[in-house]
Structure 1
Amino acid sequence: MSWLRKHTECVREAADKWLNPENYALQEAIQKTVDEGLFSRQDIELQLSVLRENNQNNEIEQWVNRSGLTDQQHAKGKKVLCLHAGNLPLVGFQTALGTILSGADYNGKLSRKDPYLLGSFLDEISKAGLDQHIQYTTDLSDFKGLQADKVIFAGSEQSVPDVKAKVTDLNAAKDEAEYIIRTAKFSIAYLNDWNESVKQELVEAMLRYGGKGCRSVAVVVVDFGLEMVKEELEDSIKQFWKSNPQHLKPAPDLRYQYAYNEAIQRKQLWLEDFLIQESEELPETEFTVHWVQGGEEKVRQLKTQFGKKVQSVYTVSKGTSGIKTEELAKAQRPNLWWKPDGVDLVEELIS
């Protein structure tokens, strides 16, 4: 059996064992996460259900094929340092999985906001008999002297210099190490259709995980104004909160934005803890979505204007020429091989 086939099967089997609902270690990690108030059980279970579906659809094998990973083209022998974010439950899973799939030695600095869930997966992977080193911690200083070949980091552009300085001070990466930095902040939904299903998909894309992920929709482009669907959107949002109360969090600063919008007569939908406003400005305030009336040309304009801050553009039907898009329904349910900041991690690591 080839190295790649054996390697892929080992990773797949470890993922199967970890995702098993009867896996005690995973259930313990879930309980710790919930007990410490890091994430809600409902959000954790949604993430796990998505990963189970990914795995059942053979997406690990598909990712291997898509990336160009072969017995000859791999990252075996390379040291990769992964600095994981913690804004969503298991947000670092894809990065960890991709690094391990590539064959590289995985060194993960887990976020203190999400240390247990990803840690339970890494514990399972460590027992899989892979011929690569697996190490994780929540303290970056544990990687002093690592001399990593590549560093993967997800965070704000402002924090990049500080992170690089810290890694350099610790001698945790080689001087010539490549940094794969992910700084996308939000996604755009281009609604070239509107019905009940689209509305429900949009609400989840905006509100799931408190809208804190780079795949969360913060800009909606559609060919009609907010007033046309204001009441039905309000009803759908309230229904989502009723089913997902963990996402209903106070955001008092929105009162001032609401008052400003009223003063300049800007159309808006204000629900005290969430605001949708007609605006083409850069989305920078949490719990706020910008509603833009326009078509494909407006989408292209905004994508250019916002640059690298945009992760994805979602649509509900084909026909958006010249723009790379994803399905709106996949916003919070991505395939394993989705490309953060447009980069296939495995492909990048083996290059």
Structure 2
Amino acid sequence: MDLNQRITAFSNLGQFLKDFMANAKKTDLQLDDFDSLNEELRAVIETAKRQNAWFSTENTRQALTSWSQNLNSGSLNTWLSPYRISTIKAKEVAVIMAGNLPLVGFHDFLSVLITGHKIIAKLSSDDHVLLPFLAKVLIQLEPQFKDSITFTQERLPQFDAVIATGSNNTARYFEFYFKNKPNIIRKNRNAVAVLTGNETHEQLVALGADIFSYFGMGCRSVSKLFVPQDYSFDAFFKAMFEHKEIINHHKYANNYDYNKAVYLMSLFPILDNEFMILKEDENFSSPISVLFYERYDTKAKLQMFLRDRKAEIQCVVADGFSENEIPFGHAQQPKLNDYADGVDTVAFLLKIS
């Protein structure tokens, strides 16, 4: 199977997802059981929600929509064009996947297979039904993938290289256990946003999507605001009100009630709008339902500060702050070349072949 065949297969998978999201049948996909696969995917989404309440139907559909937009021949070819991908000796690549978001490990799954390697995916118990289903559809679209995909929740079999995602604590164990294998070890990172006070209402509403999507549990979720010394949060809270429905999710509401009680009993000063808490804090990683903020003096000083702390930051959401900033509302819409932790996964995979 050459690169063009692999691109075509993933592009067709993207078309299947588009059809599913639009509830429309496309016969050119050559899937005889298209209708039954659609029914099965609906059931899988419900199963994922029952097994992990954070995987709400809306969040899973958001992840599926994102991948339906990225998996097309144009985007895939543009992504891969800077690399020299030829026939390689396929290696067994173990991927230890996180489970904080629906399909959070799909980019690694795609990267391993698109470069011609075989994947051994160790699934998180929090997310172990969605990806196997998509792999099933991919194999129907391109049967040659069948011998290249293995899923496990047990001890990893033999492998040649590893990609592992976890917390800062688990990363230390990964670095020890996998020190003799080519590896990518990912740690905790967070997204931050920089405000000037000149943002429009629409920009702040869009920022709310960066904060609340996936309940703020992703590495691209904004967990920290940087605001000017004299910043008033009135306009910010007015915009956030458009996301108030999040408090209707029981697990989110439980976290909000717990964190609010802890802060009040500890006499921490907080700002509160009955569904989110703002707390002035130097840390980047905030609890669910809490957004940390910090005031800055000048743009130049803040730019220097964030450069010094770049190992803790996944992306910066802003308007006119830096070259690599993400526009408001786009933190959860990464492109294929927006690599986690800034480590080029494809380059790594090509190097091990």
2:240 aligned residue: 237
Q: Does 1:292 align with 2:294?
A: yes
Instruction: Report the Cα offset of residue 203 of structure 1.
Output: 1.3
1:309 aligned residue: 312
Q: Does 1:44 align with 2:49?
A: no
| Aligned amino acid, residue 180 of structure 1 | I
2:153 aligned residue: 139
Please give the alpha-carbon distance, in whole angstroms, between the structure 1 residues aligned to 2:187 and 2:207: 23
Q: Which of 246, 269, 272 does residue 270 from structure 1 map onto?
A: 272
Provide the secondary structure at the position in 2 that maps to 1:52.
Answer: helix
Please give the alpha-carbon distance, in whole angstroms, between the structure 1 residues aligned to 2:237 and 2:316: 23
Q: Does 1:190 align with 2:164?
A: no
Superposition CA RMSD, Å:
2.8
Measured at CA, do residues 71 and 281 of structure 1 come closer, stay the same or move farther in structure 2, by a change above 3 Å?
A: closer
Instruction: Report the Cα offset of residue 113 of structure 1.
Output: 0.8
| Aligned amino acid, residue 124 of structure 1 | V
TM-score (norm 1): 0.82
Q: Does 1:71 align with 2:86?
A: yes
1:107 aligned residue: 120
Q: Does 1:158 align with 2:176?
A: no
1:168-219 per-residue CA deviation (whole Å, 9 max, x = no partner) reads 5xxxx7x731120111321111235401111112111112112111101112
Provide the secondary structure at the position in 2 that maps to 1:184.
Answer: coil
Please give the alpha-carbon distance, in whole angstroms, between the structure 2 residues aligned to 1:271 and 1:131: 50
Provide the secondary structure at the position in 2 that maps to 1:114.
Answer: coil
1:266-292 per-residue CA deviation (whole Å, 9 max, x = no partner) reads 5x4224553212333443544322222
| Aligned amino acid, residue 41 of structure 2 | L
1:199 aligned residue: 204
TM-score (norm 2): 0.82
Gaps of 5+ in 1: none
1:206-285 map, 5 Å: 206-223=211-228, 225-226=230-231, 228-230=232-234, 232-242=235-245, 245-246=248-249, 248-251=252-255, 252-258=258-264, 260=266, 262=268, 266=269, 268-271=270-273, 274-285=276-287
Instruction: Report the Cα offset of residue 304 of structure 1.
Output: 4.2
Please give the alpha-carbon distance, in whole angstroms, between the structure 2 residues aligned to 1:298 and 1:189: 15
| Aligned amino acid, residue 338 of structure 1 | D
Provide the secondary structure at the position in 2 that maps to 1:80.
Answer: strand
1:16 aligned residue: 15
Instruction: Report the Cα offset of residue 44 of structure 1.
Output: 1.0
Provide the secondary structure at the position in 2 that maps to 1:10.
Answer: helix
1:4 aligned residue: 3
| Aligned amino acid, residue 159 of structure 1 | T
Please give the alpha-carbon distance, in whole angstroms, between the structure 2 residues aligned to 1:62 and 1:244: 40
Instruction: Report the Cα offset of residue 32 of structure 1.
Output: 1.3
Please give the alpha-carbon distance, in whole angstroms, between the structure 2 residues aligned to 1:270 and 1:178: 46
Please give the alpha-carbon distance, in whole angstroms, between the structure 1 residues aligned to 2:73 and 2:226: 32
Instruction: Report the Cα offset of residue 244 of structure 1.
Output: 7.0
| Aligned amino acid, residue 49 of structure 1 | T
Q: Does 1:118 align with 2:131?
A: yes
Please give the alpha-carbon distance, in whole angstroms, between the structure 1 residues aligned to 2:333 and 2:73: 13
Measured at CA, do residues 239 and 197 of structure 1 come closer, stay the same or move farther in structure 2, by a change above 3 Å?
A: closer
Gaps of 5+ in 2: 21-34
Please give the alpha-carbon distance, in whole angstroms, between the structure 1 residues aligned to 2:346 and 2:93: 12
Measured at CA, do residues 215 and 115 of structure 1 come closer, stay the same or move farther in structure 2, by a change above 3 Å?
A: same
Provide the secondary structure at the position in 2 that maps to 1:338.
Answer: coil
Provide the secondary structure at the position in 2 that maps to 1:130.
Answer: helix
Measured at CA, do residues 14 and 46 of structure 1 come closer, stay the same or move farther in structure 2, by a change above 3 Å?
A: closer
Please give the alpha-carbon distance, in whole angstroms, between the structure 1 residues aligned to 2:163 and 2:230: 40
Q: Is the contact between residue 190 and residue 313 of structure 2 (CA under 8 Å) also seen in structure 1?
A: yes
Identical columns (%):
20
Q: Does 1:349 align with 2:352?
A: no
